[in-house]
Amino acid sequence: MKISFGVIVLLFSAVSYGTDICVFTGRVDGDIENPENYEAGAAPGAQDIIAVSEFVSFNPELSTNRTVAGVIFRSRTGEALLSGSGKTLTFGAGGIVCSNESGVVTIECDLRYAAADTFVHVPSGGEMALDGSLNGSSSNYKIVFKGGGKIVLSKSGNDKPDIVVEDAALICGGKKVFNYNDRCSFDLNGGVLDINGNETFLRNFGGTGGVVTNSRPEVCPTLVFRLQSGSGEMGEREFSGSLNGNFNVRMYDSGYLRLSGTNSYGGWTSKEGSGKLYVDGYAACSNFDFKSGFLSGTGVLDCALAAGDGGSSADAVLASEIPGEKFTVTGSLTLKADCSVQISIDTSVSCGYGKILCGGLSLGDGESKLVLNVSGDSPPDRGEKMILIENTSAEKTSGWFEGLPEGAVLDINGAEAVISYRAGEGRNDVQLYVPFPATLLFVR
């Protein structure tokens, strides 16, 4: 395997540095398997690329904190080690490159990157074990994991980096390997994030592909998404990949996440805080406890859903925002106090109203609320029947919305609409009906 970094003249020195990390001075142009490219034992500088190779006769060790441009590992045996537990190796845009296509490269020292954009590259078949911490010098910096190989993070609390997984298997070797308190993001654009039976916290999660999974299905850990509000990467986030495995999902804080892919995980889901969750794809779990915030979408939530917590100061809002579209809950839908259902109605188009489908419906005794978001200036057509919630089960709908018992009248742009909880083919749908004006019949 050849890795080229551009043509730069190599400078050689006879300086001996004991058993410290070996280095070839400057960037190499050519074959990293060529031992003539190495200057073993020289003290590295901030612009140097560290070379850990089988061609060096001693065991490389980081004996003191150092700053370099990057690190390259190469070993035909497939095994390589950079020792130095408790020491910190700071690297720049040169990244960490593993050229081994088998075996395990182990880095015992702590790693810190001091470039706005850097990377860890491990080829398919290779594996890198980061036993120390991985920290960024600034919360604005980004590190990309790529190459198709495995990268194992074992130490908890890796701090500050914006993490991007492009084409690699990033494996959590312990609990809480990512620090979730800083305002950073985690993008899964390909490859795999394996939480490996460990409780895992991810900040501002999103991405264009890839799979979040759990390779230890006998354990059902919790995957926590902290969704922070803000602009850009800390505002509206979307994940079009897949959550697939045996784990629970907890979401909290004030940010925004849209799930547009196919997701199926074995545990429960909990949503709290004022943030927004949109399900535009498919999401299956054992049950969904929607305590507070905003939940909507045009996709399918394949589970039972309980909305509201019966006493929180933060409301739970379940919405169908797009007239003519529907949000589906395949299981039963239970609305508690502090929950409202928001339905969008556009009176300027035919069938211009949102809809929620559910496999059973319990509204409580006037505790939950119905909110109509009406657009258009005209009243709805006389005789129009708007099914707001379609109960697909054979069970009757129980309860009613606050202030709206059976037969109550609402005003929609000057037209009276009568609510019913006994509508539809199963006589269990929630419907608004706009009646025709009463006709007076005079008899002589």
Q: What pLDDT is attached to residue 55? A: 56
pLDDT average, residue stretch 96-107: 86
List Cβ neighbours of 413 (8 Å cut-off, separation of 6 or more). 347, 374, 376, 377, 378, 379, 380
> Mean of the per-residue pLDDT values for the chain?
85
The per-residue pLDDT for range 126-176, each reduced to its tens digit, is 999 999 988 887 767 889 999 999 999 998 877 667 899 999 999 999 888
pLDDT average, residue stretch 318-346: 96
What percentage of residues in the chain have a pLDDT greater than 70? 82
Residue 69 main-chain phi, psi, to 5 deg? -80, -35
List Cβ neighbours of 178 (8 Å cut-off, separation of 6 or more). 153, 157, 158, 163, 186, 200, 201, 202, 203
Q: What pLDDT is attached to residue 36? A: 60
Contact of 435 with 397, CB cutoff 8 Å: no
- 99 pLDDT tier (thresholds 50, 70, 90): confident
CB atoms within 10 A of CB 201: 21
Q: What pLDDT is attached to residue 10? A: 30
Task: Say how far apart CA 252 and CA 236 lie, in whole Å.
Answer: 14
Does the pLDDT at position 212 exceed 60?
yes
- 436 pLDDT tier (thresholds 50, 70, 90): confident
Q: Among all chains, which residue has been given the structure tokens 């949109």?
A: 278
From residue 338, alpha-carbon distances to 297, 354, 382, 410, 421 in Å are 20, 21, 33, 21, 20
Contact of 345 with 372, CB cutoff 8 Å: yes
From residue 96, alpha-carbon distances to 90, 99, 134 in Å are 11, 10, 12
- 50 pLDDT tier (thresholds 50, 70, 90): confident
What is the end-to-end Cα distance of the chain in Å, rounded? Answer: 104
